[in-house]
Structure 1
Amino acid sequence: MTAPPVPSTPEHAATDAIATVIIVNYNGAHMLPGCLDGLAAQTMPAGSFRTVVVDNASADPSRDLITEGYPEVELLTSYVNRGFAGGNNVALRRTRTKYSVLLNNDAIPEPTWLENLLKPLEADTTGELVATSSKIVFMPRFVQVEVKTEAFLPGGLDPRELGARIYQVWVDGKDVTNKVLFEKATFGPEGHQHEQYRWSFPEGVLMVPMPRHADDREEHEVLITTMTRPHIPVTFSTARSTVTVVSTSDAGKPIDAVLAVMADEPRFDVVNNVGGIVFVDGSGADRGFQEVDHGQYEVAEEVFAACGNGIAMRTESARRIGFFDERYFMYYEDIDLSWRLRAQGGRIEYVPDAVLRHLHSASSTPWSPRWLFHVERNRLYTLTKDATGPRAVRGVGRFVGTTAKMALRMAVSTVRTRRRPALGQLKVRVKIMGSYSHQLPGLLVTRRQLRRSAVVGREELENWLVTSR
């Protein structure tokens, strides 16, 4: 049985504040100080906003940290982990301020963040602007490491052009593999949990994080563990340094490439999110993801969706649509919320001078089975609830068909090779289909309710869907 959250303090219902900033926390004691200290440094006048932390049954000292170190912060405790959607709803249902603002516990706001995020909402007299979305950049600064090697085709059912395997990346003796931005250089992770690797493109660019508090004048050592095909070189280079390694062994053993990052090496801010986009297959994505920030997103503009980290919304507009759908637990709940706000005639605006710095992969692990399960299942949820009928049927049908083909290929491979194939991805997809099938009747009921209440039709909203970034 779920125990109720700690009751809100009287100030939650009666206050001069115009906004409530809500932070959902799960075992984030090591990240909360940066987030809460950033809020305390905001340029908003004293008393103009409130801060509420919803603790999702943390097993670490998070609750003690808040009660002892941040007495001005209201703590709501859930004795089960409700996820991002349910955790935020705990606080949203109690919020009576004009605006509700959501902030991840692994994000640090710049001092003018909240003031700038609320300005467009305050200036809008029509009420049509229902939400604003922050400019989110990754927390550290990065150096660009180019990867170049000879392309090859693996053959069989794999159509990709591959380069070299990349196993790990170290900076000054610290493993930063999970903090590296691989989007522009590699395919997704493969292999077993304790020996994962990524195939590089024949040419690509890794974004390697520098120590967070490092002086830009310091020098650093970057070590990349890679494996090339025998006698095929792979080159790693920054603006100031280049190293080429080649395996002379036919046994296929990993080798280390060591780069010196010079004191004058250019460091870059990298974009995490400047508003959300949705592709024609229902996949959601961060606009501007992993682009070097050259100032290309410095103009405020309307976007299809807001990111759940750093969204400000009119509380009553969100209340009318029922806040987040808790069936999602985590991922895509912000896409679904934005889609439903738009169906009510609302607009969403990206605000370039409302800046957050976000720790990459601090709260979740991209491409893990848990991540894949929620991302793909919730994409199907969103298509079923929000998209036109033909698009929803195509999207769900394609997922089922792909899963069936994958199972057939594995069965044929097992018969031919008499070896058991890796079943991890297939197991996740089967689990997704089971969870989706269980929720389908309720999703269809919600779909009909959303159609009846919509001000803007599904066909019109789908004009926002894109085919590429």
Structure 2
Amino acid sequence: MSEERPTRPEAGSAVESKTVEPLATIVIVNWNGAHLLPACLDGIAKQEADFAYQTWVVDNASSDGSRELLAERYPWVRVVPAECNLGFAGGNNLALRQVTTPFAVLVNNDAIPEPTWLAALLAPFDEPGGRHLGATTGKVVFLPRFLRIRLHTPTFVPGPHDSRELGVRVSSVTVDGREALREVLWENLTYGAEGPSGSPYFWTRGDGELCVPIPDGGPVTLGFTWAAESRKQVTLSWDGPTGTSAGGRADLAVGPESTTVSLTVGGEAPRVDVINNVGGIVLTDGYGADRGYQQVDVGQFDQPEDVFTACGNGMAIRSSLGHELGWFDDAFFLYYEDTDLSWRIRARGYGIRYVPGAVLRHIHSASSVEWSPLFVFHTDRNRLLMLTKDATAPMALAAVIRYPLTTVSIAVRTLRQAWRARSQPAIRPTLLRLRVYGSYLRLLPDMLRARREIGRSAAQRRASLQSWLVSR
């Protein structure tokens, strides 16, 4: 472990931490993120805070020169080296278990804090009722700004085994010639990514909205590569300058053959911020979700309020409470570890406050690809682990029993579709789900022990905590 260095004066302290004890330790987990760290750390160095804080980077055995970068450009950062990739949960824990400051603050290496982020995040602990807070969580918006585009097109239903109403199949989106398909926000238009992870595509609905990341100022040329079941028209429209009724519209053709069309959007078209997370929710079926996900930020989340869960990217927690709870569960590796920790914070009787003034700009899925096998494995397994530890017995059992039944149903449907099409069945999704369940069963004894410990130290019953759960 490297020698701890004092907080640099311009990074939130009027004098070195030898004379002023830091109030918080900022912990950043890094794995091969040398290209991400400078923007994150430069943002942390510019924090406008009247208290001292220190910054630690846990390096999860990076091989891209991250440690050399930190030593050369950021000597005021303490590096906590890991001998292997411990994931988000284990990597954070490696540092968090050494934290002695009153507060620990977590931020992703692919996030850039606004100058007032840290001060705003910690302020509620000193406000009336703050002694009852266990954690705070801020507003996370996507890093780029976006153009909102509305899409309208006739739909069709694929067949008896797929009742979706589909519009067009989009396989590429370019912005001034640069591929941006994975950066487009599709939540309000499509049914999610389909196809292989290396070349995904999206089927749209007949009506909806997509947000395309575009640079500030000046005109931009957008390209769409798409196809449909038959020849038809797609209408794309977007807003004009704020305070005017003028906007843009393009009527474009699509057909069975994949074609690429382009259009130019004027520089006066408004760019908007889109929300990544404003605190978390858990649905009544046990799935965690980002509150406000992919909503255009128009001020609808500008008031502080209590939320059920905090986001691991941009949360602050009382260190004393974190030590009592054992911080994150190492077994989770990544995903759902923050939801599990939040559930345990609330079980101890502490609140979690959303702070709208604590703003981070985040590169979504910069370190892991959403809906990749890695993503699916950990989200599926960790959801079952979390419910086993934290939820009521009926809720946990329902999820644990439903998962293998759904796996069998998927396998049968896949075999039937392959038989009808006289093709090889797509067995990888089923095999992945079997891996998920096998890993869950292996960890089940540890989760049951953790469940008993949570129950013994709980200040709130599990049933009362589930009043926070949200219906779909």
Candidates 324, 327, 337, aligned match of 2:328: 324
Deviation by residue 1:333-375 (Cα, 9 ceiling, x = unmatched)? 0000000000000100000111111112212211111111111
Partners of 1:194 and 1:363 in 2: CA distance: 16
Q: CA 1:78 to 1:418, structure 2 compared with 1: closer, same or farther past 3 Å?
A: same
What is the letter of the counterpart of residue 43 of structure 1?
E
Q: CA 1:120 to 1:198, structure 2 compared with 1: closer, same or farther past 3 Å?
A: same
Candidates 408, 412, 427, aligned match of 2:412: 408
Q: Is 1:109 aligned with 2:104?
A: no
Counterpart for residue 12 of structure 2: none
Partners of 2:121 and 2:197 in 1: CA distance: 40
Candidates 10, 20, 31, aligned match of 1:26: 31
Partners of 1:287 and 1:193 in 2: CA distance: 26
Counterpart for residue 91 of structure 1: 95
Between 26-35 and 194-203, the greater mean CA deviation after superposition: 194-203
Q: 1:337-416, aligned counterparts within 5 Å?
A: 337-416=341-420
TM-score, structure 1 normalization? 0.94
Between 263-272 and 422-431, the greater mean CA deviation after superposition: 422-431
What is the letter of the counterpart of residue 292 of structure 2?
G
Figure out how many residues of one structure are paired with residues of the other and give that number.
455
Partners of 1:349 and 1:193 in 2: CA distance: 36
Partners of 1:121 and 1:341 in 2: CA distance: 15
Counterpart for residue 41 of structure 1: 46
Deviation by residue 1:107-155 (Cα, 9 ceiling, x = unmatched)? 1101010011101012356621010001111111100111111111112
Q: CA 1:416 to 1:152, structure 2 compared with 1: closer, same or farther past 3 Å?
A: closer
Counterpart for residue 9 of structure 1: 4
5+ long unaligned stretches in structure 1 = 1-5
Q: Secondary structure at the match of 1:238?
A: strand
Partners of 2:429 and 2:229 in 1: CA distance: 26
Q: CA 1:357 to 1:195, structure 2 compared with 1: closer, same or farther past 3 Å?
A: closer
Cα deviation, residue 454, structure 1: 0.8
Candidates 136, 140, 144, aligned match of 1:140: 144
Asked whether the 8 Å contact 1:228–1:234 carries over to 2, the reply is: no
Cα deviation, residue 44, structure 1: 1.1
Asked whether the 8 Å contact 1:188–1:367 carries over to 2, the reply is: no
Candidates 134, 158, 169, aligned match of 2:173: 169
Q: Secondary structure at the match of 1:437?
A: helix
Between 416-425 and 268-277, the greater mean CA deviation after superposition: 416-425
Q: CA 1:444 to 1:288, structure 2 compared with 1: closer, same or farther past 3 Å?
A: same
Asked whether the 8 Å contact 2:2–2:79 carries over to 1, the reply is: no
Partners of 1:444 and 1:344 in 2: CA distance: 18
Q: Secondary structure at the match of 2:331?
A: coil
Counterpart for residue 227 of structure 2: 227
Candidates 245, 258, 263, aligned match of 2:252: 245
Cα deviation, residue 281, structure 1: 1.2
Asked whether the 8 Å contact 1:274–1:286 carries over to 2, the reply is: yes
Cα deviation, residue 159, structure 1: 2.2
Q: Is 1:422 aligned with 2:429?
A: no
Candidates 446, 450, 463, aligned match of 1:459: 463
Deviation by residue 1:170-198 (Cα, 9 ceiling, x = unmatched)? 10111111111111111111123444211
Candidates 54, 73, 81, aligned match of 1:69: 73
Asked whether the 8 Å contact 2:40–2:110 carries over to 1, the reply is: yes
Q: 1:173-252, aligned counterparts within 5 Å?
A: 173-211=177-215, 214=216, 216=217, 218-239=218-239, 240-247=247-254, 252=256
Q: CA 1:360 to 1:344, structure 2 compared with 1: closer, same or farther past 3 Å?
A: same
Q: CA 1:416 to 1:256, structure 2 compared with 1: closer, same or farther past 3 Å?
A: closer
Deviation by residue 1:405-442 (Cα, 9 ceiling, x = unmatched)? 11122233444443212223212211111111111111
Between 115-124 and 62-71, the greater mean CA deviation after superposition: 115-124
Partners of 1:168 and 1:85 in 2: CA distance: 34
Counterpart for residue 3 of structure 1: none
Q: Secondary structure at the match of 1:407?
A: helix
Candidates 285, 292, 315, aligned match of 2:289: 285
Q: 1:254-333, aligned counterparts within 5 Å?
A: 254-333=258-337
Asked whether the 8 Å contact 2:24–2:54 carries over to 1, the reply is: yes
Between 356-365 and 165-174, the greater mean CA deviation after superposition: 356-365
Q: Secondary structure at the match of 2:269?
A: coil
Q: Secondary structure at the match of 1:380?
A: helix
Partners of 1:231 and 1:129 in 2: CA distance: 58
Q: Secondary structure at the match of 1:76?
A: strand
5+ long unaligned stretches in structure 2 = 8-16, 240-246
Cα deviation, residue 235, structure 1: 2.0
Deviation by residue 1:307-354 (Cα, 9 ceiling, x = unmatched)? 000000100111101100011100000000000000000100000111
Partners of 2:162 and 2:294 in 1: CA distance: 26
Asked whether the 8 Å contact 1:179–1:361 carries over to 2, the reply is: no
Q: Secondary structure at the match of 1:241?
A: strand
Q: Secondary structure at the match of 1:296?
A: coil
Asked whether the 8 Å contact 2:29–2:91 carries over to 1, the reply is: yes
Counterpart for residue 244 of structure 2: none
Partners of 2:204 and 2:326 in 1: CA distance: 44
Q: Secondary structure at the match of 1:398?
A: helix
Identity %: 46
Asked whether the 8 Å contact 2:281–2:309 carries over to 1, the reply is: yes
Partners of 1:124 and 1:62 in 2: CA distance: 42
Q: CA 1:417 to 1:295, structure 2 compared with 1: closer, same or farther past 3 Å?
A: closer
What is the letter of the counterpart of residue 351 of structure 1?
V
Partners of 2:253 and 2:198 in 1: CA distance: 24
What is the letter of the counterpart of residue 226 of structure 2?
T
Q: Secondary structure at the match of 1:331?
A: coil
TM-score, structure 2 normalization? 0.93
Deviation by residue 1:73-121 (Cα, 9 ceiling, x = unmatched)? 1011112000000000011011000000001111110101001110101
Counterpart for residue 242 of structure 2: none
Cα RMSD between the aligned structures? Answer: 1.7
Asked whether the 8 Å contact 1:230–1:246 carries over to 2, the reply is: no
Partners of 1:111 and 1:247 in 2: CA distance: 46
Asked whether the 8 Å contact 2:186–2:210 carries over to 1, the reply is: yes
Q: Secondary structure at the match of 2:449?
A: helix
Partners of 2:262 and 2:364 in 1: CA distance: 24
Partners of 2:155 and 2:230 in 1: CA distance: 13
Partners of 2:5 and 2:253 in 1: CA distance: 67
